[in-house]
């Protein structure tokens, strides 16, 4: 069943409200490029998107989608998001989006893991400007298990509340491991 009220839908609502034309944003999990395309449209011609993934197939799929849509404001980087700081300056980023889990229609044994996801979130927070925001869609269960979800939630709950505002939304009545949405703002 496709639902309007889910983690991804919430992430798009918040990103749509936050991201402005001309912004610099990071899609930390490019996958098939759907979120990259969404972000590239939000930042427009004057803006830039850095899109990362570790799978060549994800880069190919994202590149093909962007080419089909005539998008030219995206830099595709085949590298782990834990290395994000090599591609963007501290304090220069308006928003970072993570969509954890595996590549839809891809190899379900290649998925995000806490060992790299936590350093990536930390790196992304350092890159944010004051007032910048980070979106996390946390898919978990099945192949992913629960370690990554637990580690991410523990980490974001521990962020200094003088600097960061953190909202975590779970769908309280849903069965079967409903994805969790987290929104983090660096208070300016």
Ligand X SMILES: C[S@@+](CC[C@H](N)C(=O)[O-])C[C@H]1O[C@@H](n2cnc3c(N)ncnc32)[C@H](O)[C@@H]1O
Give the interface with ligand X as residue ranges (CB under 6 A): 29, 31-35, 52-55, 58, 80-82, 99, 101-104, 110, 112, 116
At closest approach, how far in Å is the CB of 72 from ligand X?
19
Q: Which is nearer to ligand X, 38 or 187 (CB)?
A: 38
At closest approach, how far in Å is the CB of 142 from ligand X?
13
Contact 39, 108 (CB under 8 A): no
Q: What is the chain's alpha carbon radius of gyration, rounded to the nearest angstrom? A: 15
DSSP letter assigned to residue 86: G
At closest approach, how far in Å is the CB of 139 from ligand X?
6
Helix (H, G, I), strand (E, B) or coil at 117: helix
Q: Which is nearer to ligand X, 57 or 129 (CB)?
A: 57
Residue 172 burial (C-beta neighbours within 10 Å; 0-12, 13-18, 19+): exposed
Q: Which is nearer to ligand X, 7 or 160 (CB)?
A: 7
């Amino acid at each position: 069943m496709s639902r309007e009220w889910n983690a991804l839908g919430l992430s798009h609502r918040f990103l749509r409200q936050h991201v402005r034309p001309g912004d610099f944003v990071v899609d930390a999990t490019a996958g098939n490029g759907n979120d990259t395309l969404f972000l590239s449209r939000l930042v427009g011609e004057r803006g830039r998107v850095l899109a990362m993934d570790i799978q060549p197939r994800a880069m190919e799929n994202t590149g093909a989608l962007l080419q089909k849509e005539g998008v030219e404001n995206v830099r595709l980087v085949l590298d782990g998001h834990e290395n994000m700081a090599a591609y963007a300056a501290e304090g220069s980023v308006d928003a970072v989006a993570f969509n954890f889990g595996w590549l839809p229609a891809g190899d379900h044994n290649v998925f995000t893991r806490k060992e790299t996801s936590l350093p990536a979130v930390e790196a992304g927070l350092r890159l944010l400007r004051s007032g910048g925001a980070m979106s996390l869609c946390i898919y978990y269960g099945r192949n992913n298990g629960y370690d990554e979800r637990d580690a991410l939630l523990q980490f974001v709950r521990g962020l200094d509340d003088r600097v960061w505002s953190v909202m975590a939304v779970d769908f309280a009545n849903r069965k079967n491991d409903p994805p969790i949405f987290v929104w983090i703002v660096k208070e300016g």
